[in-house]
């Protein structure tokens, strides 16, 4: 039976009900796959299983199911009925195996339980990739990412970091260094397009081209990789991170290419400032368990709830299964001094850690509490990103 708060406006809502049942392993015997369109559902079934599948559909969509047609009854006006028709296709073939692509979106074909792909181990000589993300904008993600880059360079006089402004919709660091680099010779958008069009499987020629030009972009031992070179590039981005992933033979090409670029530059680490929100712009990094994923949140209710949802999603799609796959780290940002003493941070911390349980396949609570986390204090001077790099 449908939950009382479920609304079936379109095929997307109907597909959501079926996917939820799939994820709970509640599909009936004989149901092989489901493909949804704006005008109906096409369902692959085993021969002689139609009645059983119709009975199951009726049970999960009750009271919004027309057994006679069969069809799903959508939200309608009182004087008319909108139906989403169902077509059955009998098949004896094995369920189709879709190529894994790191994506936060639902697959176009629902087929059994979703399975992720485990990436190979990152080569030991490659520098670590540290990706900063936040569910909500304005929580201090960029400031914390810059602080991480600076902290790494402070470890040694010759330490170097590659800092990538991968916020392709609101590239804060790109504007921050505009006075220092008014005409940057290369951008992250260029890198995406070069790798996307590189005929070789490893993209080495593209990496060499970009590394050569990035050598001019060193500030305080940090190579700054801006999102765009020009305003025109900002408004006409042709190749996005998800396009690169979809067209590549290796679904984990983006973090690997970035790591190889960092190695070419001789850096100790790569810090990536991602776009806020659960966007495909960030999926290539967030869904790669080899990446050090740092999630930044304030203590606001919206930010905490969104962070919990993000960790649940990442834990189900890209958990840390291997010893060399780090669990995400948490930064509670912009915390006023008085809130450090009243227990609010601890209460929110408990909620977020509970949401992150899927990253552990063990039930030992001590292991589950080992998620690295940090509290950074509130400063009115950092409420707005400074006007320039020196500030």
Query: What CATH number should be reported for the domain holding residue 55?
Result: 3.30.460
The answer to whether residues 300 and 161 belong to one domain is: yes
The answer to whether residues 257 and 187 belong to one domain is: yes
The answer to whether residues 44 and 148 belong to one domain is: no
CA pair distance 169, 58, nearest whole angstrom: 43
> Around Cβ 5, how many Cβ atoms within 10 Å?
5
Which of the listed residues 50, 78, 97 is the one where a domain comes to its end? 97
Tens digit of pLDDT for each residue in 315-362? 888 888 888 889 899 999 998 887 777 778 888 888 898 888 887 655
Which pair of structure tokens corresponds to residue 170? 């609101």
The answer to whether residues 22 and 138 belong to one domain is: no
Q: Quick check: 238 pLDDT over 60?
A: yes
The answer to whether residues 236 and 151 belong to one domain is: yes
H/E run at residue 265: helix 253-265
The answer to whether residues 310 and 229 belong to one domain is: yes
- Domain assignment of residue 4, yes or no: no
pLDDT at residue 157, rounded to an integer: 93
> Around Cβ 43, how many Cβ atoms within 10 Å?
22
Domain count, the chain: 2
The answer to whether residues 50 and 140 belong to one domain is: no
pLDDT at residue 243, rounded to an integer: 74
pLDDT at residue 230, rounded to an integer: 81
Determine whether 189 is exposed, middle or buried from the number of CB atoms within 10 Å of its CB (0-12, 13-18, 19+).
buried
Confidence bin at 126 (pLDDT 50/70/90): very high
- For tokens 């790591």, what's the residue? 259
Question: Which residues, 6 or more positions from 91, have their beta carbon under 8 angstroms from its beta carbon?
Answer: 32, 44, 45, 46
Tens digit of pLDDT for each residue in 191-221? 988 888 887 767 888 999 999 999 999 999 9
198-212, 255-269, 270-284, 349-363: which is most confident: 255-269
Which pair of structure tokens corresponds to residue 307? 């962070």
- Domain assignment of residue 172, yes or no: yes
pLDDT at residue 212, rounded to an integer: 94
Region 305-314: mean pLDDT is: 93
Confidence bin at 309 (pLDDT 50/70/90): very high
Q: Taking the model in full, what pTM does it have?
A: 0.83
Asked which of 136-150, 267-281, 358-372 is least confident by mean pLDDT, the reply is 358-372
What 3-state class would DSSP assign to 230?
coil
> Mean pLDDT in the chain?
88
CA pair distance 73, 70, nearest whole angstrom: 10
The answer to whether residues 46 and 151 belong to one domain is: no
The answer to whether residues 92 and 241 belong to one domain is: no
Q: Quick check: 250 pLDDT over 70?
A: yes
pLDDT at residue 117, rounded to an integer: 67
The answer to whether residues 69 and 156 belong to one domain is: no
Strand-by-strand arrangement of the 329-335 sheet: 218-219, 222-225, 161-166, 269-274, 129-133, 292-297, 329-335, 373-377
CA pair distance 116, 286, nearest whole angstrom: 13
Q: Quick check: 94 pLDDT over 90?
A: no
Confidence bin at 98 (pLDDT 50/70/90): low
Region 74-88: mean pLDDT is: 91
pLDDT at residue 365, rounded to an integer: 54
Give the domain CATH number at 376.
3.40.50.300
pLDDT at residue 114, rounded to an integer: 54
- Domain assignment of residue 3, yes or no: no
Domain that holds residue 270: 129-382
pLDDT at residue 105, rounded to an integer: 72
Region 98-102: mean pLDDT is: 71
Q: Quick check: 153 pLDDT over 80?
A: yes
The answer to whether residues 35 and 150 belong to one domain is: no
The answer to whether residues 24 and 76 belong to one domain is: yes
Tens digit of pLDDT for each residue in 158-172? 999 999 999 988 898
Higher per-residue pLDDT: 98 or 208: 208
Which of the listed residues 74, 97, 120 is the one where a domain comes to its end? 97
pLDDT at residue 223, rounded to an integer: 98
């Amino acid at each position: 039976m449908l939950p009382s708060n479920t609304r079936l406006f379109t095929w997307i809502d109907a597909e959501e009900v079926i996917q939820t049942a799939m994820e709970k392993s509640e599909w009936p015997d004989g149901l092989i796959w489901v493909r949804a369109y704006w005008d109906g559902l096409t369902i692959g079934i085993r021969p002689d299983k139609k009645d059983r599948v119709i009975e199951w559909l009726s049970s999960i969509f009750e009271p919004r199911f027309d057994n006679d047609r069969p069809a799903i009854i959508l939200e309608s006006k009182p004087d008319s009925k909108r139906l989403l028709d169902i077509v059955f296709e009998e098949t004896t073939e094995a369920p189709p195996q879709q190529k894994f692509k790191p994506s936060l979106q639902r697959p176009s074909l629902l087929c059994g339980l979703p399975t992720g792909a485990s990436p190979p181990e990152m080569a030991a000589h490659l520098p670590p990739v540290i990706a900063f993300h936040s569910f909500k904008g304005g929580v201090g993600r960029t400031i914390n990412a810059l602080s991480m880059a600076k902290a790494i360079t402070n470890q040694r006089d010759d330490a170097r970091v590659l800092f990538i402004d991968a916020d392709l919709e609101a590239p804060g660091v790109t504007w921050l260094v505009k006075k220092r680099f008014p005409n940057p010779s290369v951008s992250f958008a260029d890198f995406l397009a070069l790798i996307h069009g590189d005929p070789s499987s490893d993209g080495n020629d593209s990496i060499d081209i970009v590394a050569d030009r990035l050598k001019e972009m060193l500030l305080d031992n940090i190579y700054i990789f801006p999102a765009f070179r020009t305003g025109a590039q900002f408004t006409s981005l042709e190749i996005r991170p998800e396009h690169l992933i979809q067209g590549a033979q290796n679904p984990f090409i983006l973090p690997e290419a970035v790591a190889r670029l960092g190695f070419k530059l001789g850096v100790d680490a790569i810090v990536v400032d991602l776009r806020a929100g659960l966007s495909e712009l960030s999926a290539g990094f967030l869904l790669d368990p080899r990446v050090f994923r740092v999630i930044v949140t304030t203590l606001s209710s919206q930010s905490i709830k969104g962070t919990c949802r993000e960790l649940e999603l990442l834990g189900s799609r890209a958990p840390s299964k291997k010893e060399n796959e780090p669990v995400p780290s948490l930064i509670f940002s912009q915390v006023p001094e008085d809130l450090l003493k009243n227990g609010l941070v601890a209460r929110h911390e408990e909620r977020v850690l509970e949401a992150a349980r899927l990253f552990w396949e063990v039930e030992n609570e001590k292991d589950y509490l080992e998620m690295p986390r940090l509290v950074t204090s509130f400063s009115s001077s950092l409420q707005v990103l400074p006007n320039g790099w020196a500030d």
